[in-house]
């Protein structure tokens, strides 16, 4: 298990993480520190605990918004899949109808050809 030190609001915190996750955790801490600094800029020095709570709520709000977007996208994807299935079913039905029409036309053509052949045979001079 790896150990790293991150700085949030000017304070260092030693943290453990899985091997290979050091950069990710450092990036997350830096992002959280940016939110703390953003809040400091907006509200001034209002206390470490309050800043941390406010930044945590900001993070939770953003996660919540992303969850709603993901849910909406999942619903869109499910609808798109249903439309795809319906379109494929419709295409299959159209292919079957076309196949029947072609078979019917082929049978009609064969019948006409047979009739024409018989007609030509009977009208040939003997």
**Three-class SS of residue 48?**
helix
Q: What angle do CA 76, 80, 64 make, to 5 degrees?
A: 15
pLDDT tens sequence across 73-125? 999 999 999 999 999 999 999 999 999 999 999 999 999 999 999 888 887 77
pLDDT tens sequence across 8-48? 999 999 999 999 999 999 999 999 999 999 999 998 888 98
pTM assigned to the model:
0.62
Q: Which residues pair with 4 in a beta bridge?
A: 15
């Amino acid at each position: 298990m790896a150990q790293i030190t991150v700085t949030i609001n000017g304070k260092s915190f030693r943290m453990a993480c899985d091997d290979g996750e050091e950069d990710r955790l450092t990036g997350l801490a830096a992002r959280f520190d940016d939110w703390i600094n953003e809040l400091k800029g907006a509200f001034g020095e209002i206390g470490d605990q309050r800043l941390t709570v406010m930044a945590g709520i900001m993070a939770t709000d953003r996660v919540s918004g992303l969850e709603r977007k993901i849910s909406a996208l999942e619903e869109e994807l499910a609808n798109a899949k249903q439309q795809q299935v319906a379109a494929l079913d419709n295409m299959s039905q159209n292919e079957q109808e076309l196949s029947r029409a072609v078979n019917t036309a082929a049978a009609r053509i064969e019948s006409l050809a047979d009739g024409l052949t018989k007609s030509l045979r009977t009208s040939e001079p003997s």
